[in-house]
Amino acid sequence: MRNLIRPHLHDIVPYSTARDESKAVHGVFLDANENPYKWPYNRYPDPLQKELRKAIAELKQMDENQVFIGNGSDEIIDLLIRVFCEPGKDSIMVLPPTYGMYAVSARAHNIRVKEVQLDDEFQPHLAGIAAHWKDVKLIFLCSPNNPTGNKMDATRVLSLLETFDGVVVIDEAYSDYSESEGFKGLLSTFPRLVIMQTFSKAWSMASARIGIALTSSELVSILNKVKLPYNINNLSANALMKQISKRSKVDLQIHKTINEREKLFLNLEKLPFVVKVFPSEANFLLVKVTDAERIYNYLSGKGIIVRNRSSCTGLDNCLRITIGTNKDNKLLMKHLNDYNK
Ligand SMILES: *Cc1c(COP(=O)(O)O)cnc(C)c1O
């Protein structure tokens, strides 16, 4: 791992906060130039989020020192690029059609982006990847993939991990909606693997901005040194602690969404202008239609906003539809049934 990390970060000394220097829990705190009024908002949050980290580690059944907490997965993507890639020299690899932030983050740091399209089944094309991985430090996979909804094939992921000598990042933002195992189990065998998960989707906490990286403790320690000192604010951390304590309610909602997804899948398939509904292990469906733009505009006119993904290579005439409540989905179907009548 050490030889993959940019050399100037090897011995970087992180910013030392007042909270780092005094471990006192009780007392009169006159060390951080905080305002004494309006508790609890007046106090800086814990830079290493010890309490939240413990709760998340328990939830994910991981060692605490293998959990990094970011301001959304988006911060983690940005940090990984900063830790591993030399601007103007190194590259990342992405496998479109996929989430757009990997490429945007890389370009913001002047890191080149190499693209190798997923194959016809939306799976990684291993030979295509290997042919282009010179200078590539990070390969981003997304499983279940946004916007296609499918998981990456385990045999191919394993083979990639065995042959690529950089870092493989698997974004599991939607794994809570999948009934099969994710790739977390591979962490003990592959220290160069990073699993990203988020509380933005199945945990309903998008506005709190909390994502996690599960990886080797060595990388967690580097990420903690490079991140901004107070990347997770207290309001979000407390809200998430509360949500984690309601795990059974969250599980119930996930179950509901999966049920709705399967119902919507069957209903959409029956529509004459639907060419294909792609199987999904996430909280959305990718739907190929005869005329995506017309249907998008029609739905939009009815107050229903979906995502038109037609401009992505390989996704001609594809709409991505997020699974809503039973009522939302019924309304969507009502309007779609009326379309062209
Ligand atoms: C929604 C989503 C995320 C979540 O990002 P946050 O910054 O954690 O909200 C991450 N990856 C993918 C592929 C997503 O679709």
Specify the CATH number of the domain 7-17+46-245.
3.40.640.10
Closest Cα partner for 77 from 132, 141, 123?
141
Pocket lining for ligand 1, CB < 6 angstroms:
72-74, 99, 142, 146, 171, 173, 198, 200-201, 206, 211
User: Percent of the chain scored above 90 by pLDDT?
Assistant: 93
- DSSP conformational letter for 153: P
Nearest CA to ligand 1 atom 15: 146
Delimit the domains of the chain by residue range. Answer: 7-17+46-245, 248-339
Residue 7 has pLDDT above 90, yes or no: yes
Instruction: Tell me if residue 243 falls in helix, strand or coil.
Output: helix
How many Å lie between the centroid of ligand 1 and the Cα of residue 328? 22
Q: Is the pLDDT of residue 1 over 90?
A: no
Ligand 1 geometric centre to CA of 180 (Å)? 20
Instruction: Give the tokens for residue 265.
Output: 């899948």
3-state SS, residue 177: helix
Kindly indicate the confidence band of residue 148, based on its pLDDT and cuts at 50, 70 and 90: very high
Are 64 and 53 a contacting pair, CB within 8 Å?
Answer: yes
Distance (Å, whole) CA 293 – CA 310: 8
pLDDT for the residue numbered 101: 97
User: pLDDT digit string (tens) for 156-174?
Assistant: 999 999 999 999 999 999 9
Q: What is the pLDDT of residues 305-339, one digit of tens each?
A: 999 999 998 999 999 999 999 999 999 999 999 99
CATH number attached to the domain at 248-339: 3.90.1150.10
Pairwise CA distance, residues 239 & 242, whole Å = 5
Closest CA to 167 of 296, 22, 6: 6
Tell me how many degrees the CA angle 8-164-103 measures, rounded to the nearest 5.
65
Nearest CA to ligand 1 atom 12: 173
Q: Which residue has the tokens 């939607």?
A: 174
- Residue 305 in tokens: 């906003």
Compute the distance between CA of residue 113 and CA of residue 94 in angstroms, rounded to an integer.
7
Q: Whose CA is nearest to atom 5 of ligand 1?
A: 73
Query: For residue range 260-301, what is the model confidence (pLDDT) as tens digits?
Result: 999 999 999 999 999 999 999 999 999 999 999 999 999 999
The values of phi and psi at residue 16, to 5°, are: -100, 110
Mean of the per-residue pLDDT values of the chain: 96
Shortest-distance atom of ligand 1 to CA 209? 9
Total residue length of the chain: 341
Q: Any idea what DSSP says for residue 9?
A: G
User: Could you tell me the distance, in angstroms and rounded to a whole number, from the CA of residue 106 to the centre of ligand 1?
Assistant: 16
Answer whether the bond into residue 279 is a cis peptide, omega within 30°: no
Q: Are 123 and 148 in contact (CB under 8 A)?
A: no
Torsion sign across C-alpha atoms 123, 81, 78, 80:
positive
- Name the residue with the closest Cα to ligand 1, atom 2: 173
Exposure of 119 in the CB half-sphere (CA atoms within 13 A): 11
pTM reported for the whole predicted model: 0.97
